[in-house]
Amino acid sequence: MAALRQEIPAAEIQRQKDICRRIRVSLGDGERFAMVDTYGCQQNESDSEVLRGYLGAMGYALTGDEEKADVIVVNTCAVREHAQMRVFGNVGALSHVKRVHPERIVVLCGCMAQSEAIREKVKRSYRMVDLCFGPHDLWRFPELMERTLQVHGLSGNRGRVFSAADAEAVAEGMPRARDGSVKAWLTIMNGCNNFCSYCIVPYVRGRERSRRSEEVVREAEALVAAGYRDITLLGQNVNSYGRGLEEECDFADLLRKINAIPGDFRIRFMTSHPKDATEKLFAAMAECEKCAPHLHLPVQSGSDRILKAMNRGYTREKYLHQVELARRYIPELVLTTDVIVGFPGETEADFLDTLSLTEEVGFDSMFTFIYSRRPGTKAAEWPDDTPRAVIQDRFDRLLESANAAAAALHAAQEGKTFRVLIDGRSKNGDYNLSSRTAGGRLVHLRGDESLIGQWAQARITGSNTYALFGEIAPIRSPDESMTGPNNG
């Protein structure tokens, strides 16, 4: 698949912003609302911030109320069939909104919309959708929106806009309406080159392309200056950051550059592919005091046979070696992972390999998925005859083991004190604040809401499978709040 890497010129982004202004003027006075409904991963959350940024520039106020929204944007995910079904269900349900308010605009974008088969299905069967475009077109949403608004009002001949760009863009300078003021996403790269045999992402997000480090650092500086204290660097495979750039800057170098930005903030990142995680990265994580001691390292399976069929590029032994190496550099490391159960041809023995690997590592949390056949991927063509009940049983056993491991790891934190960032409200019994340790563990606390956005020392007094519970420990000296242990 030949890919076109296209850096969108600044003048082009400016033109998109000008279109936003034109839309705002042409729509005239009066309140208008837009909502963006997001499915899928953090990458999509981040893209939705751009959609909201553009919509704001067009003069739409953001709402969470579907009844009120003049524009409803559904930013979709294609990674599993289930996610896709939910989108179709929810978009289908919008037909009642369109019956009452035909002037309203429904936009379907994101990963599903990059697939031609899906676009055809939407064209045919989801008549309520006015505009449909995939992630490659995100940067030119204003232009597509303007076209939609133009064709939309034509009497008796309601037009619809379907776009299918195949240029895989790197765009800088798009407006962004961020969610929250404490934690921020920072996309450092787009796309994926790995073609794991089960995965649709490379087909809908295109080839891997990194943003220039200068742009990433500039955005990180702006976030720190705006008061953000928790920055998550995003990419499908951050460990391969920098490939294809003219400059010499790999992910470990990038971490160091961001770590050098003055300020009291934490750097997180996801996702790390085990085949590309290097000793250099672990060393950088250990040295960069702002870098969270957390690694999300999806293993997917513990069976070499299945890992090979998945095209993951590592063995069980290599994975375990990576974990050992990472822990040697960062003893307090918090490890999380993704696992797929029921990959085509997975036997009970393969599954037991997965179970034993996860037990051996001891993950703080595990995202477990039942394999979902994605048409167009390699694995979709393979015989897949394991009975559903067998797969469900494996899934349940894995989940039980994962929960037990998480609960034990969490219980072991009781009595310890961590430096946490209070990042929002919690609704867990009488715990009203939520916070995160450096390693990313959730700690529920009690305290005044004015503490949101602040650092605190939290003494852990309880735990369960999903979280820790604690009390805010008194800070003895002003310095202590700045230099407390950044452990796990």
Query: Residue length, the chain?
Result: 488
- Per-residue binding letters, 32-71, with ligand SF4 (x by CB under 6 A): ----------------------------------------
119 binds ligand F3S (CB under 6 A): no
d(CA 443, CA 95): 42
Question: Which range of residues in 71-79, 302-310, 394-402, 406-414 is near ligand F3S by CB under 6 A?
Answer: 71-79
Q: Nearest distance from residue 276's CB to ligand SF4, in Å?
A: 9
* Positions 160 through 199 that interact with ligand SF4 (CB under 6 A): 192, 194-196, 199
Alpha carbons 456 and 264: distance in angstroms, whole number: 13
CB of 82 to ligand F3S, least distance (A): 11
Q: With respect to ligand SAH, which residue has the nearer C-beta, 277 or 333?
A: 277
Q: Are 274 and 237 in contact (CB under 8 A)?
A: no
* Distance, C-alpha 172 to centroid of its chain: 19
Answer for which of 104, 152, 273, 290 binds ligand SF4 (CB under 6 A) is 273
Report yes or no: 329 and 215 within 8 Å, Cβ to Cβ: no
The site partner of 3 among ligand SF4, ligand F3S, ligand SAH, none (C-beta below 5 to 8 Å per kind) is none
* CB of 44 or CB of 457, closer to ligand F3S: 44
Evaluate whether 303 touches 350 at the Cβ level (below 8 Å): yes
User: What gap in Å lies between CA 393 and CA 435, rounded to an integer?
Assistant: 34
Residue 37, phi then psi, degrees to nearest 5: -105, 125
Q: How far is the CB of 468 from ligand SAH (least distance, A)?
A: 25
Contact track, ligand SF4, 200-239, x by CB under 6 A: -xx---------------------------------xx--
Q: Element (H or E) spanning 424, and its range?
A: strand 417-428
Q: Which residues, other chains included, contact 111 with Cβ-Cβ below 8 Å and sequence gap of 6+?
A: 40, 44, 76, 77, 78, 79, 134, 135, 200, 201, 204, 205
Residues 6+ apart with CB under 8 A from 409: 362, 364
Is residue 301 near ligand SF4 by the rule CB under 6 A?
no
Helix (H, G, I), strand (E, B) or coil at 373: coil
Q: Does 205 bind ligand F3S (CB under 6 A)?
A: yes
Residue 198 binding ligand SAH, by CB under 6 A: yes
Q: Please report, for the chain, how many H helices and E strands are present, in that order.
A: 15, 21
Q: Is 380 in the site for ligand F3S (CB under 6 A)?
A: no
The residue nearest ligand F3S at its CB is 40
372/403 with CB nearer ligand SAH: 372
Residues forming the site for ligand SAH (CB under 6 A): 79-80, 198-199, 201, 236-237, 271, 273, 298, 300, 338, 340, 369, 371-372, 374
Instruction: Give the residues lining the site for ligand SF4 (CB under 6 A).
Output: 192, 194-196, 199, 201-202, 236-237, 273
